[in-house]
Amino acid sequence: MIKLTSWFGQQSFMISSLSPRERVIQTALHLFYTEGFHAVGTNLICSEAKVNKSTLYHLFPSKVDMVLAALEVYASDITRKFTQIAKSKMPAEQKLEQIFETPFRANQDLKQQLGYVKGCFVGNIALELAGKEERVRTYLAHVFQTWAETIEPIVKELAIDRDVDTQKVSRSMIAYLQGAILLSKTHNDPQFIKDFAKSASALVL
């Protein structure tokens, strides 16, 4: 059994229920997220995913290919969650709070389970690899832009009757959220995320 750790806590998967490709992706996501990209070797991924090295390299020629696949799974989960929030019937202020509440709850759970706030996998990989791997940098830029576009309807609701560049504000909101997550990781305290949510709407003013 392997465990996937994400903003949504831990989910367990029976090895036999996943294809070799899925096993590698889920294992890589868990290990890269909890331990860091550079700290995890392919031998460990093979061991945890129950695949041999020839299968691993057939599926993913490099660790960069693995992290890109893991990022896609993780980022898609967050995009779906943000989309659900944006389309909900909640007031705009409450929607924005829920955008911050999602990583707060997940990191609170992760601290209880693992002892440390793990932050955001996308943000973590950006800090580790964006300056070194062009493919990763390009994909991360796409992810952050997608997230900004996903929450822009919320920003538009908050900015009604105001002359606001909602695209810029949405990008700023994602940067603000990432900053709050980074501080929570630095202090090993998820409460930073919740506290920053209280003043997030000020970015729209």
Distance CA 187, CA 179 (A): 12
| pLDDT tens-digit readout, 173-185 | 999 999 999 999 9
What pLDDT, on a 0 to 100 scale, did the predictor assign at position 128?
96
pLDDT band at 113 (very low <50, low <70, confident <90, very high): confident
pLDDT band at 12 (very low <50, low <70, confident <90, very high): low
| pLDDT tens-digit readout, 131-188 | 999 999 999 999 999 999 999 999 999 998 788 899 999 999 999 999 999 999 999 9
Query: pTM of the full predicted structure?
Result: 0.91
